[in-house]
Amino acid sequence: MSKKYFGTDGVRGTVGKDPMTADFAMRLASAAAQVLVPAGGTVVIGKDTRLSGYMFESALEAGFVAAGADVLLIGPLPTPGIARLTQEFDADLGVVISASHNAYFDNGIKFFDRSGSKLSDEIQNKIEEHLKNPAITLESQSLGKAKRIDTARTRYQDFCTASVKTGIDFSGLKVVFDGANGAGYKVGPRALAALGAEVIPIGCSPNGKNINDGCGSTEPDLLQLTVPALRADVGVALDGDGDRIVMVDEHGNLIDGDQLLLILAVARQNLGELKGPVVGTVMSNLGLEKAFQARNIEFRRASVGDRYVLEALKETGGMLGGETSGHMILLDKATTGDGLICALQVLQIMKETGKPLSELAAGMKKYPQTMLNVRTEKRLDLAACSEIQSAVVAAEAELADTGRIVLRASGTEPVIRVMVEGEDHDQVTAIANRLAAVVTESAA
């Protein structure tokens, strides 16, 4: 069944345009309550720092309370923190108001079940069925209640710091932390400081409109300049909702999700703690696959989206997965992707090995990779477009066995992503530009 509202990571769009309106949020809450929250059940609601979060928080609260659910209001906290607190409070549902790495004028709503996991397609379809009906309002005696939880940040902070081995602290490490002016702006620096690190915060002054603006994991240029300028040991950048991470080594070089995945996997292999295959996505760099082959670590590729990485890990018994963009899933530490926990684990490896981040990341040769985003005004069926398929076949023949091509529609934006990678940078760039031109023409 094709979903109308749910994408790869909940419901997302421009604020004020369907579906991101207050009315829709209230109906969505009502529908979700009818599917997932029993009478008298509990819902946890958290958000990032977007200005529109106040509006959606109130609308969701009204929808859930009207449907008979009690609501715990968490306030700004990273997405994985909401997943954790859903479990800790024994709630039936966790809700996050965030558009992740998007600009402030977008927002979104995503859910976690009572186990702290993202919803299955089946459950999402059931919610969409209920969205065809008006929101419900029960009689007064059956309405829910709402209260704000003041201990949320410290609860999640303690959970994160507890993921570091007893006896290890980060004293002697100078860390530049970029919170993307988002949900992790407060808990990130405090967790690092609690473990003994010297913390220099940037991107930690949210005003409702500057989330992901010139900062964070999607725009790490300032972090890359700041780390070597301050002679820091490492830089950490989260995205707006704190479930993505990239890092910067002591020289200012960007360390992406593929490199972090290799660092985490090799460390666990060396300790005899790695279980099952490591899972990446179809967008993971070919160099990562080659590096795992050299170390006899099994590697699987899933569809793009951390929920698909998680599904693959659960199916195969794996414990470690991630995306190039920095969605990192460590199932031995958390139920969902968690940028802050990933950062703490990498810093722990640095302390245990005595190696700088640059040396830990040197085990992977990155193949030249070009990704172009082609904006589309209409829905484009890539598989049914003969012009696009013919162009892909010709490009694959040109690359032979030295590279890969991936074309896919984004689940969060109206774009077609064209990814080409191979051994020769100029060849990769030329092929990507040609394919992007064909997609542009086909979408016109």
Cα separation of 331 and 159, whole Å?
14
Show Cβ contacts of residue 361 under 8 Å, excluding neighbours closer than 6 positions: 249, 253, 255, 259, 262, 263
Show Cβ contacts of residue 351 under 8 Å, excluding neighbours closer than 6 positions: 168, 169, 170, 173
Contact 426, 397 (CB under 8 A): no
Q: What is the chain's length?
A: 444
Residue whose pair of structure tokens reads 């996991």 in the numeric block = 117
- Structure token pair of residue 392: 């892909």
100, 117, 163, 284: which one is catalytic? 100
Contact 242, 182 (CB under 8 A): yes
CA atoms within 13 A on the CB side of 201: 18
What one-letter code names the amino acid at 264? L
Cα separation of 344 and 241, whole Å?
17
Residue whose pair of structure tokens reads 């720092």 in the numeric block = 49
| Whether residue 98 lies in the annotated active site | no
Nearest to 60 by CA among 17, 99, 111, 18: 111
Query: Which stretches does DSSP call E strand in 220-326?
Result: 234-238, 245-248, 254-255, 278-281, 299-302, 320-322
Contact 358, 232 (CB under 8 A): no
Measured between alpha carbons, how far is residue 14 from residues 18, 123, 242, 291 in Å?
Answer: 8, 24, 20, 40
Residue 419's DSSP bridge partners are 371, 406
Do β-strands 70-76 and 42-47 pair in parallel, antiparallel, or remain unpaired? parallel
Query: Which stretches does DSSP call E strand in 308-401?
Result: 320-322, 328-330, 369-375
Residues marked as catalytic? 100
